[in-house]
Protein backbone atom coordinates (compact mmCIF):
# COMPACT_ATOMS: atom_id res chain seq x y z
CA UNK A 1 0.00 0.00 0.00
CA UNK A 2 1.55 3.33 -1.04
CA UNK A 3 2.20 5.93 1.58
CA UNK A 4 1.38 9.45 0.53
CA UNK A 5 2.87 12.52 2.14
CA UNK A 6 -0.26 13.98 3.64
CA UNK A 7 -1.07 17.61 3.53
CA UNK A 8 -4.51 19.02 4.08
CA UNK A 9 -5.16 21.42 1.27
CA UNK A 10 -8.93 21.60 1.58
CA UNK A 11 -10.59 23.24 4.53
CA UNK A 12 -14.19 23.17 5.64
CA UNK A 13 -17.11 21.14 4.46
CA UNK A 14 -17.80 20.39 0.83
CA UNK A 15 -20.80 18.78 -0.74
CA UNK A 16 -20.84 17.00 -4.07
CA UNK A 17 -22.53 18.82 -6.92
CA UNK A 18 -25.05 16.15 -7.97
CA UNK A 19 -25.04 17.19 -11.62
CA UNK A 20 -21.30 16.85 -11.98
CA UNK A 21 -20.75 13.88 -9.74
CA UNK A 22 -21.22 10.23 -10.56
CA UNK A 23 -20.73 6.74 -9.32
CA UNK A 24 -19.76 4.43 -12.16
CA UNK A 25 -19.13 0.71 -12.39
CA UNK A 26 -17.53 -1.49 -15.02
CA UNK A 27 -17.58 -5.27 -15.18
CA UNK A 28 -16.29 -7.69 -17.78
CA UNK A 29 -18.84 -10.00 -19.32
CA UNK A 30 -18.65 -12.91 -21.74
CA UNK A 31 -14.90 -12.84 -21.16
CA UNK A 32 -14.30 -10.13 -23.75
CA UNK A 33 -16.58 -7.13 -23.29
CA UNK A 34 -16.97 -4.56 -20.56
CA UNK A 35 -20.35 -3.39 -19.36
CA UNK A 36 -20.40 0.12 -17.91
CA UNK A 37 -23.09 1.85 -15.96
CA UNK A 38 -23.65 4.56 -13.41
CA UNK A 39 -25.71 5.36 -10.39
CA UNK A 40 -26.64 8.93 -11.25
CA UNK A 41 -28.21 9.98 -7.98
CA UNK A 42 -25.15 10.53 -5.78
CA UNK A 43 -24.65 12.57 -2.64
CA UNK A 44 -21.36 13.07 -0.82
CA UNK A 45 -19.79 15.26 1.79
CA UNK A 46 -16.12 15.89 2.38
CA UNK A 47 -15.24 17.46 5.71
CA UNK A 48 -11.67 18.72 5.94
CA UNK A 49 -10.05 20.13 9.02
CA UNK A 50 -6.67 20.35 10.70
CA UNK A 51 -6.88 16.72 11.81
CA UNK A 52 -7.58 15.35 8.37
CA UNK A 53 -10.50 14.80 6.12
CA UNK A 54 -13.49 12.53 6.11
CA UNK A 55 -15.58 11.50 3.13
CA UNK A 56 -19.13 10.19 3.29
CA UNK A 57 -21.39 9.41 0.44
CA UNK A 58 -24.27 7.40 -0.88
CA UNK A 59 -25.87 6.54 -4.18
CA UNK A 60 -29.41 5.47 -5.01
CA UNK A 61 -29.52 2.04 -6.61
CA UNK A 62 -32.76 2.86 -8.47
CA UNK A 63 -30.91 5.60 -10.34
CA UNK A 64 -28.87 2.94 -12.14
CA UNK A 65 -28.37 3.75 -15.82
CA UNK A 66 -29.91 0.43 -16.91
CA UNK A 67 -33.41 1.61 -17.91
CA UNK A 68 -34.35 -0.76 -20.69
CA UNK A 69 -35.07 -3.49 -21.46
CA UNK A 70 -37.33 -3.83 -18.47
CA UNK A 71 -36.33 -7.45 -17.88
CA UNK A 72 -32.65 -6.43 -17.68
CA UNK A 73 -33.39 -3.62 -15.21
CA UNK A 74 -35.65 -5.89 -13.14
CA UNK A 75 -32.93 -8.53 -13.00
CA UNK A 76 -30.26 -6.07 -11.86
CA UNK A 77 -32.55 -4.68 -9.17
CA UNK A 78 -33.64 -8.16 -8.06
CA UNK A 79 -32.28 -10.27 -5.23
CA UNK A 80 -29.75 -11.83 -7.62
CA UNK A 81 -28.02 -8.45 -7.77
CA UNK A 82 -28.82 -5.32 -5.71
CA UNK A 83 -32.15 -6.34 -4.12
CA UNK A 84 -33.23 -2.72 -4.27
CA UNK A 85 -36.49 -3.30 -2.39
CA UNK A 86 -34.51 -4.10 0.77
CA UNK A 87 -31.35 -2.11 0.06
CA UNK A 88 -32.20 1.06 -1.85
CA UNK A 89 -28.79 2.71 -1.59
CA UNK A 90 -25.13 1.99 -1.35
CA UNK A 91 -23.07 3.96 1.12
CA UNK A 92 -19.48 4.81 1.87
CA UNK A 93 -17.76 6.21 4.96
CA UNK A 94 -14.03 6.87 5.00
CA UNK A 95 -11.61 5.81 7.71
CA UNK A 96 -8.62 7.48 6.06
CA UNK A 97 -8.35 10.26 3.48
CA UNK A 98 -5.02 11.46 2.14
CA UNK A 99 -4.74 14.17 -0.46
CA UNK A 100 -1.11 14.53 -1.50
CA UNK A 101 0.72 17.56 -2.86
CA UNK A 102 1.27 15.86 -6.18
CA UNK A 103 -2.46 15.46 -6.78
CA UNK A 104 -2.78 11.83 -5.78
CA UNK A 105 -5.58 10.79 -3.48
CA UNK A 106 -5.91 7.74 -1.29
CA UNK A 107 -9.08 6.88 0.53
CA UNK A 108 -9.86 3.91 2.71
CA UNK A 109 -13.17 3.21 4.28
CA UNK A 110 -16.23 1.05 4.52
CA UNK A 111 -18.45 0.42 1.55
CA UNK A 112 -21.96 -0.87 2.13
CA UNK A 113 -23.76 -2.59 -0.72
CA UNK A 114 -26.85 -4.75 -0.25
CA UNK A 115 -26.55 -4.33 3.50
CA UNK A 116 -23.04 -5.78 3.62
CA UNK A 117 -20.24 -3.51 4.84
CA UNK A 118 -16.67 -4.26 3.84
CA UNK A 119 -13.40 -2.33 3.88
CA UNK A 120 -12.40 -0.83 0.58
CA UNK A 121 -9.23 0.84 -0.66
CA UNK A 122 -9.51 3.51 -3.34
CA UNK A 123 -6.93 5.59 -5.14
CA UNK A 124 -7.21 8.47 -7.51
CA UNK A 125 -6.56 12.14 -7.79
CA UNK A 126 -7.85 15.45 -6.52
CA UNK A 127 -7.79 19.05 -7.67
CA UNK A 128 -7.65 21.90 -5.18
CA UNK A 129 -10.41 24.38 -4.72
CA UNK A 130 -10.42 26.96 -7.47
CA UNK A 131 -12.68 29.50 -9.07
CA UNK A 132 -14.48 27.86 -11.96
CA UNK A 133 -17.41 29.32 -13.90
CA UNK A 134 -18.19 31.76 -11.16
CA UNK A 135 -18.09 29.43 -8.19
CA UNK A 136 -15.42 27.73 -6.15
CA UNK A 137 -15.01 24.03 -6.78
CA UNK A 138 -12.68 21.18 -5.96
CA UNK A 139 -12.53 17.75 -7.54
CA UNK A 140 -11.97 14.22 -6.33
CA UNK A 141 -11.77 11.09 -8.49
CA UNK A 142 -11.41 7.67 -6.93
CA UNK A 143 -11.20 4.18 -8.28
CA UNK A 144 -11.52 0.89 -6.45
CA UNK A 145 -12.02 -2.72 -7.38
CA UNK A 146 -14.41 -4.86 -5.39
CA UNK A 147 -15.55 -8.46 -5.61
CA UNK A 148 -19.30 -8.22 -6.22
CA UNK A 149 -19.88 -11.68 -4.76
CA UNK A 150 -18.52 -10.50 -1.39
CA UNK A 151 -21.53 -8.19 -1.33
CA UNK A 152 -23.94 -10.93 -2.28
CA UNK A 153 -24.37 -9.88 -5.92
CA UNK A 154 -23.93 -13.47 -6.90
CA UNK A 155 -25.67 -14.01 -10.22
CA UNK A 156 -23.61 -15.82 -12.81
CA UNK A 157 -23.99 -18.49 -15.45
CA UNK A 158 -21.74 -20.84 -17.37
CA UNK A 159 -21.28 -19.78 -20.97
CA UNK A 160 -21.94 -22.48 -23.55
CA UNK A 161 -18.45 -22.00 -24.96
CA UNK A 162 -16.83 -22.18 -21.51
CA UNK A 163 -16.13 -19.59 -18.84
CA UNK A 164 -18.51 -17.46 -16.83
CA UNK A 165 -21.01 -14.94 -18.10
CA UNK A 166 -19.98 -12.18 -15.70
CA UNK A 167 -16.73 -11.40 -13.90
CA UNK A 168 -16.66 -11.14 -10.10
CA UNK A 169 -14.40 -8.08 -9.99
CA UNK A 170 -16.12 -4.76 -10.56
CA UNK A 171 -14.26 -1.50 -11.02
CA UNK A 172 -15.90 1.41 -9.25
CA UNK A 173 -15.16 4.98 -10.24
CA UNK A 174 -16.36 7.95 -8.23
CA UNK A 175 -16.19 11.45 -9.69
CA UNK A 176 -17.02 14.22 -7.26
CA UNK A 177 -17.24 17.91 -7.97
CA UNK A 178 -17.05 19.43 -4.51
CA UNK A 179 -18.67 22.73 -3.65
CA UNK A 180 -17.81 24.52 -0.41
CA UNK A 181 -20.77 24.44 1.95
CA UNK A 182 -22.28 27.93 2.06
CA UNK A 183 -22.74 28.78 5.72
CA UNK A 184 -20.24 26.64 7.54
CA UNK A 185 -18.74 28.62 10.37
CA UNK A 186 -17.39 25.59 12.19
CA UNK A 187 -13.94 25.57 10.70
CA UNK A 188 -11.42 28.24 11.51
Partner 1 sequence: MRVLGLPGSLRRDSHNRALLRAAAAALPYGAELVEWDRLAELPAYDEDLDGASAPEPVRALRGAIAAADAVLLATPEYNASLPGGLKNALDWASRPHATNPLRGKPAAVVGASTGLFGAVWAQAEARKVLRTIGAHVLERELPVRQADAAWAADGTLRDPGLRAALEELVAELVAQVEPATVAEAA
Count of residues near partner 1 by CB under 8 A: 13
CA distance 119 to 110: 4
CA distance 152 to 8: 36
The 10 Å Cβ neighbour count of residue 122 is 24
Q: Which residue from 115, 159, 169, 184 is in contact with partner 1, where contact means CB under 8 A?
A: 159
Cβ 150 to partner 1, closest distance in Å? 22
Task: Identify the burial level of 7 via C-beta atoms within 10 angstroms of its C-beta, where 0-12 means exposed, 13-18 middle and 19 or more buried.
Answer: exposed
Stretch near partner 1 under the rule CB under 8 A, chosen from 63-71, 92-100, 114-122, 134-142: 63-71
Per-position x/- string for 23-42, each x denoting binding to partner 1 as judged by CB under 8 A, each - no binding: ------xx--x-x-------
Stretch near partner 1 under the rule CB under 8 A, chosen from 49-57, 66-74, 90-98, 147-155: 66-74
Count, residues in the chain: 188
Sign of the Cα pseudo-torsion (147, 106, 96, 176, in order) = negative
Q: Which residue from 7, 116, 132, 165 is in contact with partner 1, where contact means CB under 8 A?
A: 165
Do 121 and 145 contact (CB within 8 A), yes or no? no
DSSP symbol at 113: E
Stretch near partner 1 under the rule CB under 8 A, chosen from 14-22, 41-49, 67-75, 138-146: 67-75
CA distance 64 to 53: 28
Residue 71 or 183: the one with the smaller Cβ distance to partner 1 is 71
**Strand, helix or coil at 62?**
helix
The 10 Å Cβ neighbour count of residue 167 is 19
Per-position x/- string for 68-97, each x denoting binding to partner 1 as judged by CB under 8 A, each - no binding: xx-xx-------------------------
Cβ 26 to partner 1, closest distance in Å? 13
Stretch near partner 1 under the rule CB under 8 A, chosen from 18-26, 40-48, 153-161, 180-188: 153-161
List interacting residues with partner 1 (CB under 8 A): 29-30, 33, 35, 68-69, 71-72, 157, 159-161, 165
Amino acid sequence: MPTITAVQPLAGTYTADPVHSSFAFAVRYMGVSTFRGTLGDVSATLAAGPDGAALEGSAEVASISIRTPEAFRDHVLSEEFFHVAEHPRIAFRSTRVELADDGRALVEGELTIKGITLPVHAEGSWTPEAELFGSRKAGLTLEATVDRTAYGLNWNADLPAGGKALADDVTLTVELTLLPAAADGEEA
